[in-house]
Structures are given as structure tokens and as C-alpha cells.
């Protein structure tokens, strides 16, 4: 064997070894969204597309979801390592499954305010929460706004509401047809879905929960207790990469929606860009978020929410706010400074 051949062989072997070591150091994570690949999914698809997760030695696969409740149970089952879900759904799971061995934990608040609202058409004569008493409301049974409606109703003295259940694609259609007087849903979902059905935005009455006495947090990043125990560094790396991507999404939502388009080619880019911007304006860059800081949650507000969700959801046990929230994996305050000044 010639010296040149030996050195070349050794170089190839060393390169292969280094490649193997780099691969071995990469952590694979399965991530579940709360909903379909719509505008807000860019919050996670953009850091993936820009390579931020990869740079953090993470191999993150991102799947669409079908509701926060499903995301919570799938993370609890171990099918997914990380998810994006409504904090109220996480609280409910904890309180109704006290003996469950793997209860997920929220590690970063993304929607500092719940995006839930009541929406009606002006022609139906609903202008304020008081006008909802005795009316017919519609929403899927698992809708976050419907589940939390008792909190909204108590804060605004609404009573005598009749609920009609339907599948998500029929919610806005039934409102337009007059089958229901109002609906509940995430504002950035239902408002734009109504427009897609020919309703002008000026003809819609929107009653956002945060504007009417409901101080609930919205969606958070949740992780499995198994991941917390076995690889806490991966959680920190994920949140840091996600936060870096948040800056890009907020700075240029239109570019971020291109990353959603890459995952679902049939989306309406203009509509989803508006949906993402609406989510940023109402749930992410809200007054409460700027007050508390992006990613954060405060003890008193968590305790209030735990008490309200326990009552509204009629949980089997009372919710312990300390059991559902763990901020120890959050990036530094400087890294979390992603919200633009108003």
C-alpha cells in the first residue's frame, strides 16, 4: 500500500467518523402543532426552514394537529416530545388525569392572551356581551372559546345561552346561514374564515375575551416529562432556536408564510399572511405580553386561570398552577426581547 493511498484512506475514514459523531450528537424531536398548516404555523416552520433547529443540533419534525386537546394527549402518550397547545387544555388534562404518569408541562408562553372571541354578524343585532343572553351559539365541542365561555359569561352576566355543536369547517358557514346567532373561536381563524365566505370584516362584531374581563393565557409550548428528565438541554436549545425564529416571523410575516406554503401548497398566501399578522397583533404582541415579557407567565395570573378553568371545565380535581408551568428552560431576557415597541 502506497503512503499516498494510506493517507487518503485515513482521511476518508476520519471524515466518516466525524460525520457519524455529528449525527450522533443530533437530537431528534417530534413536534405537534395545535392546528393545520395555516399562517400561525410559521412560528415553528420558519425556524425549521432557516436551519435554526439544525444549527442547535436538533432534528425537528413538525406535524399538523387537530386541536389542543389532541396535542396534549399525544405529548402525554409519548408519541410527541414537544407540542403547541392551549394552556387551558393542558390544565384540564392535569386535573382530570391526576394519576397519569406523564403529564406534559408548559415551558414557554407564546399566546400571552387567549385568541378566543365571540363573533356575530351585525345584522343579527348583537353588539355587546349582554346581547348574547338567550341566544343560540355555535362551536365545535372542543373549541377553546366554547370551553372557556362560562368564564366570559360570568364576567359579563350572560345567561340562557343555547349551544349548537358542529365540525370546525361548518362553524362560520352556519353563522352566515343564520343557523346560529354567534360563534366562538380564535379571532384570527374565524374572522378570516368568514371573509372567505363572502362576509365583509366591517359586518362582523368581534368580542375578544381579553377585552371583556377574561385574563386567560393562550397557547404555550409544552414538553413531555420524559424529555425534561432525559434531555433538558434539548428543550433549552429548541426554545432558543424558536425564539430566534420569532424575530424573523414578526419582522416579515409575508416571508414567513412562504415557509407554510412550502408545507401546504394549497394555502391562500394573502389570507394566511393576514391571519399570521392578526395572531401577532392580538395574541403575541399584546399589552399583557409587553408587560410580562415574551415567553413569560406570572404566578398570580396563572393561579387565577387555574381556579377559573377548574370551575368552568368542572375538573375532577383542582388545578395546581405550579404543576403545569416550568420556566426554567427559557432563553435569557435579552434573547426573549423579540416584541416590537408600540
If asked whether residues 108 and 132 sit together in one domain, one would say no
If asked whether residues 248 and 293 sit together in one domain, one would say yes
Burial class (CB in 10 A: 0-12, 13-18, 19+), 293: middle
161 confidence band (pLDDT: 50, 70, 90): very high
The yes-or-no verdict on residue 6 having pLDDT over 50 is no
pLDDT for the residue numbered 273: 97
pTM of the model: 0.90
Indicate the SS3 state at residue 16. helix
9 in any annotated domain = no
If asked whether residues 235 and 148 sit together in one domain, one would say no
Higher pLDDT, residue 14 or 150: 150
Range of the domain at 188: 116-212
What's the rounded Cα separation, in Å, for the pair 98 and 100? 6
The yes-or-no verdict on residue 21 having pLDDT over 50 is no
Q: Mean per-residue pLDDT for 58-71?
A: 96
8 confidence band (pLDDT: 50, 70, 90): low
Q: Is 125 left (phi over 0), alpha (psi -120 to 50) or beta?
A: left
Share of the chain above pLDDT 70, in %: 93
If asked whether residues 238 and 321 sit together in one domain, one would say yes
153 in any annotated domain = yes
If asked whether residues 188 and 221 sit together in one domain, one would say no
Which of 162, 190, 212 is the last residue before a domain boundary?
Answer: 212
pLDDT for the residue numbered 16: 46
Which of 197, 212, 227 is the last residue before a domain boundary?
Answer: 212
pLDDT for the residue numbered 23: 43
Q: Is 86 left (phi over 0), alpha (psi -120 to 50) or beta?
A: beta
Give the chain's count of helices (H) and strands (E). Answer: 16, 10
If asked whether residues 105 and 223 sit together in one domain, one would say yes
- Convert 177-189 to b/e letters by CB count within 10 Å (16 or more is b): eeebbbbbbbbbb
What's the rounded Cα separation, in Å, for the pair 192 and 320? 36
Share of the chain above pLDDT 90, in %: 91
Q: Mean per-residue pLDDT for 19-44?
A: 84
124 in any annotated domain = yes
DSSP letter string over 66-127?
S-HHHHHHHHHHTS-SEEEEEHHHHHHHHHH-TT-S---EEEEES-SS--EEEEEEGGGT--
If asked whether residues 325 and 261 sit together in one domain, one would say yes
pLDDT for the residue numbered 342: 65
Packing angle of the helix pair 42-49, 232-251 (nearest 10 deg): 100
Give the CATH number of the domain where residue 133 resides: 3.40.190.10
The yes-or-no verdict on residue 22 having pLDDT over 50 is no
- Model confidence over 241-276: pLDDT tens digits? 999 999 999 999 999 999 999 999 999 999 999 999
H/E stretch holding 162: strand 162-164
If asked whether residues 263 and 315 sit together in one domain, one would say yes
Residue ranges with strand state E in the chain: 27-32, 58-63, 82-86, 105-109, 116-121, 136-138, 162-164, 182-186, 204-208, 219-223
112: nearest Cα among 296, 311, 243: 296
Contact 159, 129 (CB under 8 A): no
If asked whether residues 132 and 181 sit together in one domain, one would say yes
341 in any annotated domain = no
Number of domains in the chain: 2
If asked whether residues 85 and 221 sit together in one domain, one would say yes
- Model confidence over 267-308: pLDDT tens digits? 999 999 999 999 999 999 999 999 999 999 999 999 999 999
In terms of DSSP H, where are the helices of 101-163?
144-147, 149-156
Calculate the average pLDDT of the chain: 93
pLDDT for the residue numbered 244: 98
192 in any annotated domain = yes
If asked whether residues 105 and 230 sit together in one domain, one would say yes
Which of 170, 186, 212 is the last residue before a domain boundary?
Answer: 212
- Across the strands, what pairs with 219? 86
341 confidence band (pLDDT: 50, 70, 90): confident
77 in any annotated domain = yes
Higher pLDDT, residue 340 or 78: 78
Phi, psi of 215 (to 5 degrees): -100, 25
The yes-or-no verdict on residue 31 having pLDDT over 60 is yes
131 in any annotated domain = yes
The yes-or-no verdict on residue 148 having pLDDT over 50 is yes
Indicate the SS3 state at residue 208. strand
pLDDT for the residue numbered 25: 86
If asked whether residues 91 and 127 sit together in one domain, one would say no
Indicate the SS3 state at residue 137. strand
188: nearest Cα among 85, 272, 114, 279: 279
Grid coordinates of 179: 343557523
pLDDT for the residue numbered 24: 53
147 in any annotated domain = yes
Contact 219, 40 (CB under 8 A): no
Phi, psi of 108 (to 5 degrees): -155, 130
- Model confidence over 168-177: pLDDT tens digits? 999 999 999 9
Amino acid at each position: 500500500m502506497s503512503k499516498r493511498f494510506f493517507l487518503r484512506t485515513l482521511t476518508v475514514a476520519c471524515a466518516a467518523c466525524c460525520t457519524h459523531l455529528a449525527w450522533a450528537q443530533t437530537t431528534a424531536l417530534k413536534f405537534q402543532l395545535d392546528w393545520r398548516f395555516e399562517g400561525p404555523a410559521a412560528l415553528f416552520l420558519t425556524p425549521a426552514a432557516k436551519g435554526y433547529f439544525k444549527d442547535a443540533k436538533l432534528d425537528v419534525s413538525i406535524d399538523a394537529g387537530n386541536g389542543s386537546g389532541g396535542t396534549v394527549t399525544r405529548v402525554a402518550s409519548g408519541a410527541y416530545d414537544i407540542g403547541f397547545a392551549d394552556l387551558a387544555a393542558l390544565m384540564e388534562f392535569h386535573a382530570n388525569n391526576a394519576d397519569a404518569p406523564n403529564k406534559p408541562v408548559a415551558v414557554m408562553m407564546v399566546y400571552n392572551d387567549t385568541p378566543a372571541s365571540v363573533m356575530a354578524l351585525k345584522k343579527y343585532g348583537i353588539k355587546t356581551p349582554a346581547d348574547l343572553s338567550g341566544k343560540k351559539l355555535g362551536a365545535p365541542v372542543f373549541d377553546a372559546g366554547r370551553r372557556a365561555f362560562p368564564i366570559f359569561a360570568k364576567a359579563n352576566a350572560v345567561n340562557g345561552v343555547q349551544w349548537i355543536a358542529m365540525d370546525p369547517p361548518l362553524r362560520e358557514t352556519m353563522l352566515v346561514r343564520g343557523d346560529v346567532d354567534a360563534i366562538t373561536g380564535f379571532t384570527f381563524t374565524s374572522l378570516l374564515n368568514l371573509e372567505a365566505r363572502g362576509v365583509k370584516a366591517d359586518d362582523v362584531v368581534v368580542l375578544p375575551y381579553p377585552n371583556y374581563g377574561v385574563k386567560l393565557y393562550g397557547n404555550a409550548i409544552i414538553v413531555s416529562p420524559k424529555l425534561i428528565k432525559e434531555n433538558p438541554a434539548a428543550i433549552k436549545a429548541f426554545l432558543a432556536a424558536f425564539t430566534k425564529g420569532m424575530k424573523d416571523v414578526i419582522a416579515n410575516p409575508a416571508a414567513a408564510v412562504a415557509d407554510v406554503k412550502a408545507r401546504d401548497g394549497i394555502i391562500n398566501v394573502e389570507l394566511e399572511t393576514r391571519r399570521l399578522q392578526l395572531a401577532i397583533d392580538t395574541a403575541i404582541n399584546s399589552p399583557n405580553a409587553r408587560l410580562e415579557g415574551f415567553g413569560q407567565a406570572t404566578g398570580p395570573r396563572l393561579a387565577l386561570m387555574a381556579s377559573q378553568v377548574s370551575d368552568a371545565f368542572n375538573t375532577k380535581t383542582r388545578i395546581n398552577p405550579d404543576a403545569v408551568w416550568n420556566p426554567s428552560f427559557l432563553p435569557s431576557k435579552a434573547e426573549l426581547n423579540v416584541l416590537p415597541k408600540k
